[in-house]
Structure 1
Amino acid sequence: MCRERTPVTTQPDIPANRYGRYCVPAGLEDRPAARAVLAGQAYEPETLRFMRAHAGDGDIIHAGAFFGDFIPALSTALTPGARLWAFEPNPGNFASAQETVRLNDLQNVTLTNAAVSNQPDELLFRTRDKDGKSLGGLSHFVTEPGDGVEAVAAAMLDFVVPLDRKVSILQLDVEGHEKQAMLGAYHLVNRWAPILILEYFNKPQWIARRFPGLGYRHIGKLHGNHVFAARDITL
């Protein structure tokens, strides 16, 4: 179910900002992304500005879509023929992201209900706390089953995104699963050397070892995201 309220929209029952309209999951209104959207603002506006400016003529991979708070801004920045590949493992968040796509009639988005990893399998994902409340964007991977834990599909980006699709940006908000996600995109990264935008993951030596010869360097931070590029760009 979506939270339907905002002071900034031509349809007062649907949250909106400058990029589009959103389905905010009920009960998650206090999460930072939801608060921003409900106030008619964009969440992580500098990250969005940078991604829109550097999408070029390629696709964007966006893993950790939550309710789709990034999706309208990224979709509308793409050139004709380019595509946004979005992934969200939490079933409730995925349903909200689907509705966000529908609300904006976005035709260049492929949204997948899966985590991204280094093998196609299932992963254990905690989606609810001990009281049964949805964790929303705080959902995370775990190693043991239990209350509030669901088995979710895991996908390798190399298997989902065709290798002949030019990828300009790979953005991961995957709750500590960045290494596995990047290993699952090994061929895409080596072919296209996309800009990497990685939440809380600042390991340039690991990236250099796994993707030698591409020349990735850490160029700075946007909000909590570390940005790596294999070409000469600035934030």
Structure 2
Amino acid sequence: MTDLTAGLPQPRYRLVIFDWDGTLMDSEARIVDCLQAASLATGMGELPAHAARDIIGLGLPEAMERLFPGATAEQCEALVAAYKAHFVAVDTTPLDFFPGVEAGIQRLRSHPDQLLAVATGKSRRGLDRMFTAHDCGDWFHASRTADLTLSKPHPRMLEELLAELNVEAHEALMVGDTEYDLEMARALGMHSVGVDYGVHSVPRLEACAPQRIVSHFDELMDWLYVAR
């Protein structure tokens, strides 16, 4: 029988798990704008952009608790609702993938043994909305969102993805732009790669001991495969 994978580069990992915002999708500006709008709409005052940037990647309830430590549960619920309303209905800033993402994912998908997944702080509804808008849901074999499991940096969503896809932690890689992404991987002994074009600084990413830090999606793609 002919080996259809003969001559193809060998993937370093059976499973590559991607963060969404700041790693695959260039959504920082819109998220910051919506967080600031939610703060004003609920009477919480002006929210500095740097503070809003810092919590991108967390689940919305956890993000609001961190941004507004004195807020009541009711205020946090109102903030979450205001953010969602602004993101869906008010701010229509177009969102797109970072350069190299679409071609890179297609390159990954061309290998028959490569598994792909998403682990994100978005809600299930929010991620599905992105999948539909960009016709990319079939790129991934599985996904986890913060509202249906535990928010980053807790590793629960990674544990669930590993179990669903029957992959061991040492066979998987987490790719993200924040310390929240890399910390949840480190908690499981999973390898990680940081991208420096997202929201957290290189020193913060380096503190989480990733395998490497890349500045462009193409760099990640070139590193993910090794010649046979």
Fold equivalence (TM over 0.5): no
Which structure carries more helix by proportion?
2
The structure whose RCO (Cα within 8 Å, separation 6+) is larger is 2
TM-score (norm 2): 0.38
- Structure with larger Rg: 2
With normalisation by structure 1, the TM-score equals: 0.37
More strand, by proportion: 1
